[in-house]
Amino acid sequence: MKLIYQIPRNSLVWLLVSQAAAILPHLTHLPVGIIAGWLLVLVWRFQVYRGLWRFPRWPVKVVLVLSAALSLKIGYGRFFGMEPMIALLIAAFLLKVLEMHSRRDALAVIYLGYFVTATQFLMFQ
């Protein structure tokens, strides 16, 4: 990957802080599995940031997606409805951070953050 497309290290930290700010209001509505997945993603991404771990391969990503879907099914008992769909968006927001390599991926994370923030207004309607 060319150097001009990489995410600067300090930008990654700010993206993680802004992700936490977007998700914190949703914590009371999320299943425990999604919150645990968020902590796992933060630890994994921090270890990649430090250079100790590598980015996850596709089998790990598949396991994470399936466990997020299972957590939604256990937490809500259904997949359709406003709350499960918001939790699905948040799960995608979390997992996108884990596979973020380039500036284009960072921009997608920022856009997902805007949507996650906007869904907080749906919870109060």
Cβ atoms 91, 34 nearer than 8 A:
yes
Assess whether pLDDT exceeds 70 at residue 4: no
Mean pLDDT of all residues in 78-84: 90
C-alpha distances out from residue 5 to 51, 101, 102, Å: 18, 8, 5
Residue 13 in tokens: 């930290």
As a whole-number percent, the residues of the chain with pLDDT over 70 amount to 96
Q: For 83-99, what is each residue's pLDDT tens digit?
A: 999 999 999 999 999 99
Q: What's residue 1's pLDDT?
A: 55
Cα Rg, the chain, nearest whole Å: 15
Mean pLDDT of all residues in 100-121: 93
Q: For 28-38, what is each residue's pLDDT tens digit?
A: 999 999 999 99
Tell me how many degrees the CA angle 45-21-52 measures, rounded to the nearest 5. Answer: 10
